[in-house]
Amino acid sequence: MEKISGLSEDELLVKILSFLPTKVAVSTSVLSRRWEHLWKRVPKLDFAYTDAKPSDKCQKRLHRFIQRNLPLHRAPVLESLRLKLSFPSFIPDDIEAWTDVAVSRGVRELSISYSSADGYITRLPDSLYTCESLVSLKLDDRLYVDSC
């Protein structure tokens, strides 16, 4: 593989993908076999709704996508993860599990906004206390970190 400015071709493609919205970066996976997994090395992930009232079907698709693919993410360091989610498709256990995945990937910036219509408070994992890579933590709505 040829080197361009000290980067391999795949590294250069991942760099380019990192400037795109996550949804667009993921959509490049259909281009060819070579592109199929490149997005999984992008260091910044943003899973958020842009619609004011996303349909249940849209929420369920996003839920399945995050559930299947976030654990497969392979960037050496996860620079940032932004989750902007709402109930009912997403439950507190999902948020906790995905936060654990982010911590295990050395997340530096973590932003979680979770709207729960039923009033549930979401407990985030204790691993946030010991995450040495975490520089910025933004929590909205009914989220908390408990050491018990």
pLDDT tens track, the chain, 148 positions: 455 566 788 889 999 999 999 989 999 988 888 888 999 999 999 987 655 566 778 878 888 899 999 998 998 889 999 998 876 667 778 888 999 999 999 999 999 988 766 666 777 888 888 899 999 999 886 677 765 5
Q: What DSSP string describes 28-39?
A: GGGS-TTTTTGG
Q: Give the C-alpha separation, 101 to 29, whole Å.
A: 22
What is residue 53's predicted lDDT score, i.e. its pLDDT?
64
Q: What is the pLDDT of residue 95?
A: 86
Q: 7 - beta bridge partners?
A: 4
Identify the pLDDT of residue 116: 67
Q: How many other CB atoms sit within 10 Å of the CB of residue 78?
A: 24
Sequence-separated contacts (24+) of 121-124 with Cβ below 8 Å: 121/92, 122/92, 122/95, 122/96, 123/92, 123/96, 124/95, 124/96, 124/99
Measured CA distances, 109 to 69, 102, 106 (Å): 19, 9, 9
Domain ranges of the chain: 1-42, 43-145
- Torsional class of 82: left (φ above 0), alpha (ψ -120 to 50), beta (otherwise): beta
The 10s digit of each residue's pLDDT in 50-59 is 555 667 788 7
Q: What would you report as the CA-atom Rg of the chain, rounded to the nearest whole angstrom?
A: 16
Q: Distances from the Cα of 74 to the Cαs of 78, 104, 106, in angstroms?
A: 9, 11, 11
